[in-house]
Chain A
Amino acid sequence: MLEIEHLTRSFGDVLALDRLTFRVEPGQMFGFVGSNGAGKTTTMRIVMGLDDPDEGEVRFQGGPIDSEVRARVGYMPEERGLYPKTPPLRQLIYLGRLHRLDKRTAEERARRLLARFGLQERMHEPLENLSLGNQQRVQLAAALVHEPRLLLLDEPFSGLDPVGVDALSEVLLERASLGVPVVFSSHQLELVERLCDAVAIIDAGRLVAAGSVAQLRAAGGRRLLRIEVDGPDPTGWAEHLPGTRVRSRDTTGVVVLLDETVDDQTVLAAAQAAGAVRHFAAVRPTLAELYREAVTNHRDTAHTAGAA
């Protein structure tokens, strides 16, 4: 289990992390979501010991993260880092050995990973001769070569084609199924929603929401209904319904946001009064919608608090 506890870090006047706290369970696929500059990279760098927090601490399996533990972490930095002139195979063997593997094991795993990412033909060429997507694959292999106990990947999917995304997803899910916590940041929220057991949304260095996507939906406490009515006025009937708000409308129907006090059966009755109801169903907000909502609310609150 990885525990991030009250991390605070400021750079000059900028508060990059503000008492950030969350935990990642063993075997969890954990999506780390937030806008650029929200503090994701700073958090990962602190976990890797590349930066020190002003306050707070990071624990892994109950103890502090020291260099022995870090040697068993697979880390992919935001700005990719490998030797441009060294061929992938030699590069991975070197990194594997730095992570305490013996030479033969390092070479065996390096070859296996490169084959898995479809790079067996290119593994003796200087890295810089490879396309950016392929360099990215090598970078991922570098984070995986020592079969880490914790994976910490900063934007691992950016720059990958769909085949690469699938190959990486598969590898990550496989590691998670072995009990390895997998933390990755991404702006591709559909991907995060599809892959992750849990997400943390951060904004301006603060945790805005955390939990499974289902929990985030429930925590929102909001109910959205899409209703399609076959009648003279398919959308207008919802206009002045008490306790509801029309979120969006199109030619065939409306999406209505219900207050907590409103019974959805009341809404159904109102719809039936307007005509034949063809569609009446709850709309599940996507992670992207939840994210926007959470960040907007958070900023409103922060703004109000700042103004008061």
Chain B
Amino acid sequence: MSGTRLVASREFTERLRSRAFLISNGAILALILLGVGLPLLLGGDGAIRLGVVGADAAEVGRFALAQQDAFDVEVELVDLTDRDAAEEALTEGSVDVALLDSSAALAEGSLGGRLESLLANASNAIRVDRALAEAGLDPQERAELATIERLSITQLDERDGIDLFDPSVAIVYGAVFVLYGLLAVYGQWVAQGIVEEKQSRVVEVLLASLRPTELLAGKVLGLGGLGLAQILLLTGVAAGGLLLTDVVEVPAAAWTALLLVIPWYVVGFLLYATLFAMAGSVVSRVEDLQSAVMPVIIVLVLALFGAQFALNDPTGTVATVAGLLPFTAPIVQPILFALGVATWWRTLLALILALGAILVLLPISARIYRGGVLRTRGRVAFRDAWATSRR
């Protein structure tokens, strides 16, 4: 056991020391911080500053304020003295758009559909309001009529209900993509480490004082531990950033799904590590590794496709099955959870199935490793590695 611990700590620290590791992690962290922080930097508090020149324009502005929620736009009013002041304010960027009277506005560029609709509606509302005032309605009645009720829309086809730009989906999809990347990278490191030790023959020196299973276990635990530390750091930074900056509102299901990515990483890594270890055990040179790990990578990519599929059709058979199968569940199940279609018991079932698969594959993988680790010439057939497995 102490041998396993030594191997694990070596794997952990050697990778941690490597420049490539530090640079790639720095880059990912920078991307996350950018993703979380950029809207904050660019958008300020997100409100559109609406300049108003004169009483008519101010009245349109007040209607716009009253109706902004219906158009998903946030505006704030800035009083301006005249057209020259409006142009100056636009140029220096202290307002985004300036209303000159009840039906004309100045802007630097195009306004975007929602804002334009809001302003057109507000300007129209004034005319309606005045007509209603002439017809004798009191302000209370007029204000009620001016309020816009959102249409209640029932979607016949609920599949169209998923919005990729929905923040909770985007967050979980991002997390799952990172999970996929970590499984691919750390899994390949397991295979690569095995082959490098075979190729450099250092394995013969190591096996003088270690049992093969200790060496393999140390490798898997060390690299898996580093991956776990990494995913904890990344999700921690992402979650902290989201909480602190409050850029988007994250629903509870997304938080849970984000947390679920962590146990799914652990399960997924162990599962894929068994496959990657087998691939590494049967080749002798790093150059031959690519073809050996290809089938494993294909399975992993299929899992990512499964995640795409789940996004498009979360209640379909493919998504349901992919959410349960051991090799696709780690990537697909968190997505289904974030979309609210996976129940706790389904998550639990998927986890149990995956753990079962690990229990089945671990001894097989260890046996292939024992059979192949000392065959330092050429490629070993799986059957030979299985049959000649020692100790």
Which A residues fall within an 8 A CB radius of B?
Answer: 45, 48-52, 67, 70-71, 73, 75, 77, 79-84, 86, 94-95, 97-100, 142
5 further A-B pairs in the complex, CB-CB below 8 A; given A50-B208, A75-B204, A81-B203: A48-B207, A48-B208, A73-B208, A77-B204, A99-B209
Which one of B10, B208, B390 has the highest number of Cβ atoms from chain A below 10 Å of its Cβ? B208
Query: Which of the residues A49, A95, A100 comes within 8 Å of B205, measured between beta carbons?
Result: A95
Chain A residue numbers with a CB within 8 Å of B203 are 81
Known contacts A77-B201, A142-B205; A86 and B14 CB within 8 A of each other: yes
Contact A94 B201, beta carbon cutoff 8 Å? no
Contact A75–B208 (Cβ < 8 Å): yes
Contact between A98 and B3 (Cβ–Cβ < 8 Å)?
A: yes
Q: Say whether B204 contacts A98, CB under 8 Å.
A: no
Cβ contact within 8 Å between B208 and A81: no
Chain A residues within an 8 Å CB radius of B7: 98
**Contact between B200 and A82, CB atoms less than 8 A apart:** yes
Q: Are B207 and A49 touching (Cβ within 8 A)? A: yes
B173-201 interface code vs A (CB 8 A; 1 in, 0 out): 00000000000000000000000110011
A81 touches B209 (CB 8 A): no
Question: Which partner residue on chain B sits nearest A142 by CB separation?
Answer: B205
| Docked CA distance A86–B207 (Å) | 18
Contact between B390 and A52 (Cβ–Cβ < 8 Å)?
A: yes
- Whether A70 touches B209, Cβ cut-off 8 Å, given contacts A94-B10, A97-B6, is yes
Would you call B202 an interface residue if the criterion is a C-beta within 8 Å of the partner chain's C-beta atoms? yes
- Given known pairs A50-B374, A94-B10, the reply for A83 and B209 (CB within 8 Å) is no
Q: Say which residue of B3, B202, B211 sits within 8 Å of A83 (CB atoms).
A: B202
Question: CB-nearest residue of chain A relative to B202?
Answer: A81
Tell me the residues in window 357-391 of chain B with beta carbons closer than 8 Å to chain A beta carbons: 374, 376, 390-391
Specify which chain B residues have a CB less than 8 angstroms from the CB of A81 in the assembled complex. 200-205
Give the interface of B toward A (CB within 8 A).
3, 6-7, 10, 14, 196-197, 200-211, 374, 376, 390-391
How near does chain B come to A66, taking the closest CB pair, in angstroms? 11
Task: Tell which of B3, B201, B391 touches A79, judged by Cβ atoms closer than 8 Å.
Answer: B201
Complex CA–CA separation, A80 to B3 (angstroms): 22
- CB-defined contacts of B207 to chain A, threshold 8 Å: 48-50
Q: Find out whether the CB atom of B204 lies under 8 angstroms from the CB atom of A50.
A: yes
| A75 near B205: Cβ-Cβ < 8 Å | yes
Which chain B residue shows the least CB distance to A51? Answer: B374
What are 23 inter-chain pairs, A to B, with CB distance below 8 A? A45-B204, A49-B207, A49-B391, A51-B374, A67-B209, A67-B211, A70-B209, A71-B209, A75-B208, A77-B204, A77-B205, A79-B201, A79-B204, A81-B202, A81-B203, A81-B204, A82-B202, A83-B196, A83-B197, A97-B6, A98-B210, A100-B209, A142-B205
> Which of chain A's residues has its CB closest to B203's CB?
A81
A52 to B370, CA, bound (A): 13
Q: Roughly how many angstroms separate A97 CA and B203 CA in the complex, as a whole number? A: 15
Q: In the complex, which of the residues B6, B196, B197 contacts A98, with contact meaning CB atoms closer than 8 Å?
A: B6
CB nearest to A75 among chain B residues: B208
Specify the chain B residue showing the minimal Cβ separation from A127: B200
- Write out the residue numbers on chain A whose beta carbons fall within 8 Å of the beta carbon of B211: 67
Residue of B nearest to A148 (CB): B208
- Cβ-closest 10 pairs across A and B: A81-B201, A81-B202, A77-B204, A79-B201, A71-B209, A98-B209, A81-B205, A75-B208, A99-B209, A70-B208
